[in-house]
Every structure is written in structure tokens, then in C-alpha cells.
């Protein structure tokens, strides 16, 4: 890849600004905040450890939740995150309860090679004196320049916010000589960027989930790039309706029917739609169900793809060299409507074993592969929901655009 990575940087003795994604869930234990799930902290360790072992002085920061008023601040402090990071790293982590000012500057000046500091939630800057000014979230240029002035080089490892232009990503990058991708960011660029820019073929995309309107741009972008685009999940029923089929009470977006008709006409056999559905008489796991081929009976709704669709989708996936998957094939949260999603997950494991690069594009599909227990058998599970969607839509992500070229 053409982007600078943390491996390209001279780190010894440098003040290394590191934008990490420590937006983790917190819980209260005995009146104290604690990290409820440290997956994201664990995931960031390789980049942090690399910087420290090379003799860098790590200055870490992240957003945590959303800050809309002064009242939000105490419950969204980075302090418990700093504690967990220290435990995981096995070394002290200096926590500075400020996002700017002399206390922070002093602490940074006292850092020695191989030491770590983390400062307060970057979104504290979104509320100043009780007013929601969004200095971080609207990329206030003075804030980005200030944070940049605190370090020598910048490492961005927070893919989850790469689709937003914030002071803590694009703002800093605009004011510092070198911005490099951390290992997590590098992996996202390699897999997601690789799939949309230069996929090994055949390239098959699978798009599911609830709403056509959310994913239509992805479908359009991928129809231009992939060899086949499989559409499943609730959004498939708007396509079924566009073909003139009866869809009962299934999910339906009337204002997208014309667009669906257009896509069906333009895409020809590149677009692969379900040929049957598991139809249910109510949105519940204990609903009365039957497999509908073609029309769905009045009073019933399609909640999963049926067995013939599973076979069809498997045949399309056979021999694929690159697969991108975003969105479940049905209401996978309910056991009786999880079969289609499960079957696709299992098939992805199979094509991965056969040499395909398989990429799950964040959000609900990530939850699905974790639920299926196959996450570590696929090539890449993206960590960014919104960011991976926008990447797959073919948009330029400001956080990635701001990383220096090699
Ligand atoms: P999305 O956020 O667009 O990826 O949508 C994910 C959600 O779509 C999940 O919560 C699924 O339960 C839901 N979903 C998938 N298929 C269907 C369907 N046939 N009917 C209703 N909801 C669905």
C-alpha cells in the first residue's frame, strides 16, 4: 500500500501522538467506572507496544461516547481506560485529566523513551462552558493544530472514526509533518481498500440487512466493481416487489422500488436475488412459518432466505477469490431465522480455506460472525461500522486520506 505505516517511522526519542479507538463500554462497580469490554484496547496493543519498544514516547488519545453537555463528562472519562491499559501493558500509564493546557504539556515533557501517557476523552472538547461547540467533532482547526504541536509524529490507528473529519484525526494530520497508519488501520486499508480498489477475481459481494436506503450506494458501487452482487436480508423484498412478486408483510421501501427495478434491469445476471424465503406470520421466533417460493402469502413476512437461496448463493460463492459481506441474510437474532446467515458464514469459512480473501464489513454482520463463532476463520473482520460502509460505498474517508503517502 502507498500509505505510510508506523513501521516506516523513526520513533526513538520521539513524542508519538497516537489516535486510538478506545471507545469502549464502561460499567459501574462499587460506585467506580470500569471497562466492561476491553477488546478494543487489546486490539490496539500491537501498535502501542511497537512504538514503546522502538523507544517512542506514546501520547495516546481517543474519543469515548458522545459528549453533549457538561453532565456527560464525568461518566465518560478515560481514567478507567488508562487503568485497564496499564494492566494490559504491564507498565504504568500516566493519565492526564485534561485535553489541553499546562498540566498536559508538563506531563508530556516529562515522558521518557518507552513511557506512555493517555489524556482525557477528546470529545470533552465538544462542550466548552456548557455550550455544545463540537471543537473535536467539527474539526476546529485551532484544536487540531494545538494537539499536533504536542508531538513530533502522528500515528492514527482508529479506523472506526476514519469516515469523519475530526480534530483528533484529520485536524492533527494537517498540522504535522508525518502521519502514519497503525497496524489496525493498515489492515483495514489493506483488506477493505484492496477489495474496492484491486480485488482478486472472481469478486463476490454479499449485501444484506434491513434497509435498501442504507445500502443502496454500496450495491451500486459494488455492481460496478464486483463480478457478482448477492442481495439478501430484509432489503431483498423491495427487489422482489420490483419484480412484481407479492411480499405480504415483509420489509418494504416503496420509494425505492423504481431504483430497484432500474438496478435489476442494468445489472442483469450480475445481481443475484433470493429465490425463496422463510415466511412467518409474525415477527417472533415462535411464529408459524413456511418456505415461500415466489409470492409470499397475505399475513406472512419473509424473515430469512430459504434453502434454495442458500444453495444458489453457495454456487455463486464457489471459486470466489475475494468476498465482501455486509449485512445478515435474515433476522439472525432469532434462532429460527438465523439459518441463512449461518449458512453464508459457514460457506465463507469454506471459501477462505480454499484460498479466498473474505472480508466482513462491520456492524451487524460482525455481530453475526461472532455469534456464529467463525470470526477468526475469515480473513478480516472490519472494526468500523459506519467507516467500513462508507469505504465500501467507494467514498474517500478523511481519516485515511489524511495519512501521508510513502
Ligand atoms: P443492517 O443494520 O442494515 O445491517 O440490518 C441488520 C438488521 O436487519 C438485523 O437486526 C436483522 O435482524 C435485520 N433483518 C435482516 N433480515 C430481515 C428481514 N427479512 N426482515 C426484517 N429484518 C431483517
| Domains along the chain with CATH numbers | 6-186 (3.40.50.1260), 199-392 (3.40.50.1260)
Using one digit for the tens of pLDDT, what is the confidence trace for 48-104?
999 999 999 999 999 999 999 999 999 999 999 999 999 999 999 999 999 999 999
Vertex 394: Cα angle to 390 and 396 (nearest 5): 75
Q: How far is CA 245 from the centre of its chain?
A: 34
182 is catalytic: no
Residue 57 labeled ligand binder: no
Q: How far apart are CA 315 and CA 351, in angstroms?
A: 11
Clarify whether 340 is annotated catalytic.
no
Task: Give residue-wise pLDDT tens across range 279-328.
Answer: 999 999 999 999 999 999 999 999 999 999 999 999 999 999 999 999 99
Q: Which residues contact 289 (CB under 8 A, 6 or more apart)?
A: 278, 279, 280, 281, 303, 336
Is 364 marked as a binding-site residue? yes
CB atoms within 10 A of CB 257: 15
Are 13 and 55 in contact by the 8 Å Cβ rule? The answer is yes
Q: Which atom of ligand 1 is nearest to the CA of 302?
A: 19
Active site residue 193: no
DSSP for 220-289 reads HHHHHH-SEEEE-STTHHHHHHHTT--BTTS---GGGHHHHHHHHHHHGGGEE--SEEEEESSSSTT--E
Confirm whether 40 is a catalytic residue.
yes
- What local confidence, expressed as pLDDT, does residue 1 receive? 52
- When the pLDDT of each residue in the chain is averaged and rounded to a whole number, the result is 96
What is the CA(171)–ligand 1 centre distance, in A? 36
* The predicted structure's pLDDT at residue 384: 85
Residues 6 or more apart whose Cβ sits within 8 Å of residue 231: 207, 208, 219, 239, 271, 272, 273, 274
CA-CA distance, 154 to 142, in Å (whole number)? 17
pLDDT score at 385? 83
* Residue 377, all three cell numbers: 476463520
Residue nearest to atom 5 of ligand 1 (CA): 209
Residue 19 marked as a ligand binder: no
What pLDDT is attached to residue 54?
Answer: 98
The rounded Å distance from CA 230 to ligand 1 centre is 15
Q: Which residues of the chain have pLDDT under 50?
A: none
Q: Which of 184, 213, 217 is nearest to 5 (CA)?
A: 184
Q: Which one of the listed residues 49, 190, 211, 270 is annotated catalytic?
A: 211
| Contact in structure between 121 and 75 (CB atoms under 8 Å) | no
Amino acid at each position: 500500500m502507498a500509505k505510510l505505516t508506523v513501521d516506516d517511522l523513526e520513533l526513538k526519542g520521539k513524542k508519538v501522538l497516537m489516535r486510538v479507538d478506545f471507545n469502549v463500554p464502561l460499567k459501574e462497580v462499587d460506585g467506580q467506572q470500569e471497562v466492561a469490554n476491553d477488546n478494543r484496547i487489546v486490539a490496539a496493543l500491537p501498535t502501542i507496544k511497537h512504538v514503546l519498544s522502538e523507544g517512542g514516547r506514546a501520547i495516546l488519545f481517543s474519543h469515548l461516547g458522545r459528549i453533549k453537555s457538561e453532565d456527560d463528562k464525568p461518566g465518560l472519562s478515560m481514567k478507567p481506560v488508562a487503568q485497564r491499559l496499564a494492566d494490559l501493558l504491564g507498565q504504568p500509564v500516566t493519565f492526564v485529566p485534561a485535553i489541553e493546557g499546562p498540566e498536559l504539556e508538563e506531563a508530556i515533557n516529562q515522558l521518557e523513551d518507552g513511557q506512555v501517557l493517555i489524556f482525557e476523552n477528546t470529545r470533552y472538547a465538544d462542550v466548552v462552558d456548557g455550550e455544545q461547540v463540537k471543537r473535536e467533532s467539527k474539526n476546529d482547526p485551532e484544536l487540531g493544530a494545538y494537539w499536533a504541536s504536542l508531538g513530533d509524529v502522528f500515528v492514527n490507528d482508529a479506523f472506526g472514526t476514519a469516515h469523519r473529519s475530526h480534530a483528533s484525526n484529520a485536524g492533527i494530520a494537517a498540522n504535522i509533518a508525518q502521519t502514519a497508519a497503525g497496524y489496525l488501520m493498515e489492515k483495514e486499508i489493506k483488506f477493505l481498500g484492496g477489495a474496492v480498489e484491486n480485488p482478486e477475481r472472481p469478486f463476490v459481494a454479499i449485501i444484506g440487512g434491513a434497509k435498501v436506503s442504507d445500502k443502496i450506494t454500496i450495491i451500486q458501487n459494488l455492481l460496478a466493481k464486483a463480478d457478482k452482487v448477492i442481495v439478501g436480508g430484509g432489503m431483498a423484498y423491495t427487489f422482489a416487489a420490483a419484480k412484481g412478486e407479492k411480499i405480504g408483510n415483509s420489509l418494504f421501501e416503496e420509494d425505492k422500488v423504481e431504483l430497484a427495478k432500474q438496478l435489476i434491469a442494468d445489472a442483469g445476471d450480475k445481481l443475484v436475488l433470493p429465490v425463496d424465503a422463510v415466511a412467518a406470520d409474525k415477527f417472533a421466533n415462535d411464529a408459524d412459518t413456511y418456505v415461500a417460493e415466489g409470492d409470499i402469502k397475505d399475513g406472512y413476512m419473509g424473515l430469512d432466505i430459504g434453502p434454495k437461496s442458500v444453495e444458489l448463493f453457495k454456487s455463486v460463492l464457489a471459486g470466489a477469490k475475494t468476498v465482501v459481506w455486509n449485512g445478515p441474510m435474515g433476522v439472525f437474532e432469532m434462532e429460527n431465522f438465523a439459518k441463512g446467515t449461518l449458512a453464508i458464514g459457514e460457506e465463507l469459512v469454506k471459501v477462505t480455506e480454499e484460498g479466498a480473501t473474505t472480508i466482513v464489513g462491520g456492524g451487524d454482520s460482525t455481530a453475526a460472525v461472532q455469534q456464529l463463532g467463525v470470526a477468526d476463520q475469515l480473513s478480516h473482520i472490519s472494526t468500523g461500522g459506519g467507516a467500513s460502509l462508507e469505504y465500501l460505498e467507494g467514498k474517500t474517508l478523511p481519516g485515511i486520506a489524511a495519512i501521508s503517502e510513502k
